[in-house]
Amino acid sequence: MSLLHLDKATIKFGGLIAVNEVSFEIKTGQLFGLIGPNGAGKTTCFNLITGVYKPTSGSIKFEGREISGTPPNKIAHLGIARTFQNIRLFGALSVLENVVVGGFLRHRTGLGSAIAYLPPAIKETEELKQDAMRLLEVVDLAHVANVRSRDLSYGMQRRLEIARAMATQPKLLLLDEPAAGMNPQEKMDLTGTVRRIRDEHDKTVLLIEHDMRFVMELCENIVVLDHGEEIAQGPPSEIRNDPKVIEAYLGEAV
């Protein structure tokens, strides 16, 4: 079943067409890659899907329902969560608190109950913390749960971004360059983590990544963008040998 469907999604910033009639379809359970050179429009695609921008034209459907123009917080409630290329953690909050913010969208108790600090709010807070703790174990950050997130290492911050997004219990998880700045060992571990997220936590994953080995190894299907245009689409074996892709990357080993 098609989970996410972009149909000729386009966005212009003044004269610049950052994303030009991009269409692709992600099926439930897929591990999908979005690649392309710098400035190709990959992050802008994420911003369109998550409601940061409204497409100039074209449609974006999630579970068959038009979502373009829906504000980001509503998109999160519908079941799409993301990480950010330029890490955007809540720096002053602890690692655990960051994840609790992600889980908070499922809260049931009212603000009044929290302000009066009544048992329902206390209980819910405990539950949210326990859920968050379990997610921290998935990304191997449980041992630093009480550290201020600003003080984490770069690789840990990237993993925390994933845990925070997972906490919203999304159906579709968007990862924007999750391996950027990681060393080879960390990248290997991350490959395992992303696989587990898909296999054991039943998420559909769409990820942007510049590291070709990482993408080719992990993704079952890949879309390639260049200058806002979609230039290729298919499984890694096809993408690797596509002349247009090789040209776009100007001879970089693909």
* Binding mask of the shown chain, residues 42 to 61, with x at each position contacting other proteins by CB under 8 A: --------x-x---------
Position among 12, 27, 61, 107 found at the interface with other proteins (CB under 8 A):
107
Reference 178, options 214, 156, 209, 153; nearest CA is 209
Q: Does 67 bind ligand ATP (CB under 6 A)?
A: no
Interaction residues for ligand ATP, span 3-22 (CB under 6 A): 13, 16, 18
> Shortest Cβ distance from residue 36 to Mg ion (Å)?
9
Q: Which is nearer to other proteins, 86 or 185 (CB)?
A: 86
When binding is defined by CB under 8 A, the residue of 69, 105, 140, 238 that contacts other proteins is 105
From residue 68 to residue 87, the character string flagging contacts with ligand ATP as x (rule: CB under 6 A) and all else as - is -----------------x--
Rounded Cα–Cα distance for residues 31 and 209 (Å): 13
| Contacting residue, 4, 26, 31, 41, with ligand ATP by CB under 6 A | 41
Mask for 118-147, x = binds other proteins (CB under 8 A): -x-xx-xx--xx---------------xx-
With CB under 5 to 8 Å by kind, the binding choice for 72 among ligand ATP, Mg ion, other proteins, none is other proteins
Write out the DSSP string of the chain: -EEEEEEEEEEEETTEEEEEEEEEEEETT-EEEEE-STTSSHHHHHHHHTTSS--SEEEEEETTEE-TT--HHHHHHHTEEE--SS----TTSBHHHHHHHHHGGG--S-HHHHHTT-HHHHHHHHHHHHHHHHHHHHTT-GGGTTSBGGGS-HHHHHHHHHHHHHHT--SEEEEESTTTT--HHHHHHHHHHHHHHHHTT--EEEEE-S-HHHHHHH-SEEEEEETTEEEEEE-HHHHHH-HHHHHHTTT---
Q: Identify whether the C-beta of residue 204 lies closer than 8 Å to the C-beta of residue 166.
A: no
Report the nearest approach of ligand ATP to the CB of residue 117 (Å): 42
Point out which residues bind ligand ATP (CB under 6 A): 13, 16, 18, 36, 38-44, 85
* Contacting positions for other proteins (CB under 8 A): 50, 52, 71-73, 76-77, 81-82, 84, 88-94, 96-97, 100-102, 104-105, 107, 109, 111, 114-117, 119, 121-122, 124-125, 128-129, 145-146, 164-165, 167-168
